[in-house]
Amino acid sequence: MKDNDIVNLGGNISISSMWEVEPTDRAEVHIAAYHWEVADWQPTIYNMIIPDLCQAVQDPKNYWYIYFGQYIINKDELKEKCFNVIGTKYYLEAYDVRFNISSNGLPFNGRYKVEFKIDVYGNDYTKRAISACFMATGHFLKK
């Protein structure tokens, strides 16, 4: 069996000066999957919202801790600063993530892209003017 369903992760994450947020701000993540159909990306039913990224990556019961947070070496700094202090650097242990998706509903084959959008909100629930967005594309095959 080929290991083409594994993504190797590791290294570090740095909070840059472009990320101008307050230490008390909350980062909300929206994740949306799109399927390539007839020369265009079409939305799917696969979507997720993480209302508080800092809380999610520190909660051992949360997927984001299981697949990401537990591999952060300097967890004490994460607890104190989360992703809200410019210049903070987090170090990740090298680890592998195997992407096996089970779906009892619609078929999950073909080209997909997953968009990640991070919005920031202040204590008064006001959305900040800064956000981040990135995406990953791939081809899913039924085994």
**Each residue of 38-74: pLDDT tens digit?**
899 999 988 999 999 999 999 999 989 998 999 999 9
Parallel, antiparallel or unpaired: strands 26-37 and 127-140? unpaired
Higher-confidence residue: 115 or 98?
115
Under the banding of pLDDT at 50, 70 and 90, the label for residue 21 is confident
pLDDT in the model for residue 1: 44
Q: Nearest-5° angle of CA 29, CA 30, CA 36?
A: 140
* Helix ranges (DSSP H) in 5-74: 53-58, 63-67
Under the banding of pLDDT at 50, 70 and 90, the label for residue 28 is very high
Contact 141, 111 (CB under 8 A): no
Distances (CA, A) of 41 to 12, 111, 113: 31, 9, 8
Q: Can you give the pTM of this predicted structure?
A: 0.80
pLDDT in the model for residue 106: 66
